[in-house]
Amino acid sequence: MTHGCFFLTLLLCGLSGAASAAEPTGLELPKADPAPGVVPQPQGTLPQTAPPTGAVPPGNVLVLDHPLFSAVHGSAGGFSGAAASSDDVPTVPLVLRPELAFGYLVPQGRRNLGLGTDPRDLTYGSVFYPKLDIAVNYVGVKPGSFTVSAAYLRLDGDRDRLTTLGGGLIAREESDSKLDLIVADLVGVKWPAEDKRPHYDKWWQAGVSIRYATLDQRFNSRVTQGASVTILNATQNFNGIGISAMAGCRLPLTRTHFDRSTGDPPCLYSNIRGSLLAGPNRKASTLQVPGQTAINIESDERSLVPVGEAEFGFAWGTATASLLRWGYVSESNPTIVGLKVAAVGQFWGNVGYLSAARPSQSRFNAGDLYLYGAVVTVYVKF
Strands (E), 17-78: 38-39, 48-49, 63-64, 71-73
Do 369 and 347 contact (CB within 8 A), yes or no? yes
Fill in the DSSP letter of residue 294.
Answer: -
Q: In this structure, what is the dihedral angle of CA atoms 139, 144, 148, 154, given to the nearest 10 degrees?
A: 160
**HEC states along 151-195?**
EEEEEEEEEEEEEECHHHCEEEEEEEEEEEEEEEEEEEEEECCCC
**Cα gap 215→153, rounded to integer Å:** 10
A 10 A CB-CB count for 305 gives 21
A 10 A CB-CB count for 368 gives 16
Q: Helix (H, G, I), strand (E, B), or coil: what is residue 338?
A: strand
In this structure, what are the phi and psi dihedrals at residue 113, rounded to the nearest 5 degrees? Answer: -100, 10
Do 272 and 246 contact (CB within 8 A), yes or no? yes
Please choose, from the candidates 197, 215, 207, the residue with its C-alpha nearest in 3D space to the C-alpha of residue 371.
215
Q: Helix (H, G, I), strand (E, B), or coil: what is residue 119?
A: helix
Q: Helix (H, G, I), strand (E, B), or coil: what is residue 3?
A: helix
Fill in the DSSP letter of residue 327.
Answer: T
Please choose, from the candidates 352, 363, 300, 359, the residue with its C-alpha nearest in 3D space to the C-alpha of residue 119.
352
Question: What does each of the 382 residues of the chain score in pLDDT, given as a tens digit?
Answer: 555 544 445 444 544 554 444 444 444 555 555 555 455 555 555 455 454 444 443 433 333 333 333 333 333 333 333 333 444 444 567 788 899 888 888 887 655 777 766 677 788 877 878 999 988 887 766 677 889 999 999 999 888 888 877 677 888 889 898 999 999 999 899 888 776 665 556 788 899 999 999 999 999 999 998 888 999 999 999 999 999 999 999 988 876 554 445 677 889 999 999 999 999 999 999 999 998 999 999 999 999 999 999 999 999 887 765 444 444 444 556 788 899 999 999 999 999 888 888 877 777 877 899 999 999 999 988 7
A 10 A CB-CB count for 250 gives 18
* Helix or strand run (H / E) with residue 11: helix 2-22
The residue count for the chain: 382
